[in-house]
Amino acid sequence: MRRWSLSTALGMAAIATALLVVSATAAQAAVRTYYIAADEVLWNFAPSGRDLVAGEALPPRKPLQLGWTYRKAIYREYTDASFRHLKARAPRDAYLGLLGPVIRAEVGDTIIVVFRNNTRLHLSVHAHGMKYDKASEGAPYRDETSHADKWDDAVPPGGGHTYTWTVPERSGPGPMDPSSIIWMYHSHTNETRDMDTGPIGPIIVTRRGMARPDGSPKDVDLEVIAMFAQMDESLSRMLQANLADPATNPQHVSGSSAKLQAANQFLTINGFDYGNLPMITMRKGQHVRWYVLGTMDDNDFHTPTWHGETVLYDGQRANTIMLGFMDMKVADMVPDNPGVWLFDCSQAVHLAAGMTARFTVLP
């Protein structure tokens, strides 16, 4: 009798605890809504007009190079569904450059992207790592779906679509990952050429129970996102628009895409060349999390390299890590060495082509 009572009491306590856990989890799960438009902008890869790492003039324009400014389509965040007011990016986030807004979630959350296409091109929003159904995939291929499940794959100019992604355990950090990981979202209507056209952005997912209300990881002081990408303007879907516009083609360069290719490729970090990435600033002793991204480049890997400091990547000490195609990696740094330091790609050709930036560690 006594044993029966005890086990019953224990069983009821266990059920009550389980219910509490379930309700706490349900209470914490958030629906995070982002209003994101694809907008056309004039993008300058080196807005200072100089090589800020070498402290000298940019290399001379190649004969078939349009210039340093090109029309691109990029994702930008708005305050609401009217898409009338751009959501201002904090000055400290200027270094994010042409990356779209940072989408955040804690495991268990739901992400809603209300998308508006303000460009002349059919575009989409396709997420890596998230869980979605066919109406929120944003990628056209023979997937045996039709009608409503196709609209999201190529949203027409002036059109819009609402994408819904859930963030289950399998979208969040694995057992060997730190408290947060990074994914990408990008237009996948013309998968390879969209990469050169511009619309791409980051998604950060934090482990359940490890997120602040804004979704960022509690155990990190500063997060930095750096996308290493070759932007081939000869393959951009905006090429014809760029050729036709004196603002982007002041020398009236002309020729086929193949002829223009070598002169119009840029090796960029967040869309910046030759040290023009706005300075990233951190303090000695902070826990800094670096998220590094590769894209769908032709044939090149990238090797982000931190000078003057080291990182912990995959449980190993490093100052260089390898980025494959559409690779997304996380490296943690506790800077201990105040100064201005180089952050670049160690691939020699890329280094020579200005795939360089700097970061500052304050005492």
- Which residues contribute to the site for Cu ion (CB under 5 A)? 302, 345, 347, 350
Instruction: For the CB of residue 269, give the shortest distance to Cu ion in the complex, in Å.
Output: 9
| Residues whose CB is less than 8 angstroms from the CB of residue 118 and which lie 6 or more positions away in sequence, other chains included | 37, 38, 39, 40, 83, 157, 158
Q: Which is nearer to Cu ion, 283 or 307 (CB)?
A: 307
Instruction: For the CB of residue 100, give the shortest distance to Cu ion in the complex, in Å.
Output: 21
Helix/strand/coil percentages in the chain, nearest 5: 20, 35, 45
Phi, psi (rounded to 5 degrees) for 325:
-75, 130
Instruction: For the CB of residue 295, give the shortest distance to Cu ion in the complex, in Å.
Output: 11
Tell me which residue of 335, 276, 267, 299 sits closest to 54, measured CA to CA: 276
Q: Which is nearer to Cu ion, 237 or 302 (CB)?
A: 302
Residue 22 and residue 18: Cα distance in Å, rounded?
A: 6
Q: Which is nearer to Cu ion, 151 or 301 (CB)?
A: 301
Q: Which helix (H) or strand (E) holds 14?
A: helix 2-28
Instruction: For the CB of residue 355, give the shortest distance to Cu ion in the complex, in Å.
Output: 5
Residue 15 near residue 237, CB atoms below 8 Å = no
Q: Which is nearer to Cu ion, 30 or 318 (CB)?
A: 318
Q: Which helix (H) or strand (E) holds 329?
A: strand 328-333
Q: Which is nearer to Cu ion, 329 or 350 (CB)?
A: 350
Instruction: For the CB of residue 58, give the shortest distance to Cu ion in the complex, in Å.
Output: 19
| Residues whose CB is less than 8 angstroms from the CB of residue 274 and which lie 6 or more positions away in sequence, other chains included | 46, 50, 51, 52, 53, 54, 58, 354, 356
Tell me which residue of 72, 104, 105, 77 sits closest to 90, measured CA to CA: 77
Q: Which helix (H) or strand (E) holds 114?
A: strand 110-117
Instruction: For the CB of residue 323, give the shortest distance to Cu ion in the complex, in Å.
Output: 8
Q: Which is nearer to Cu ion, 73 or 353 (CB)?
A: 353
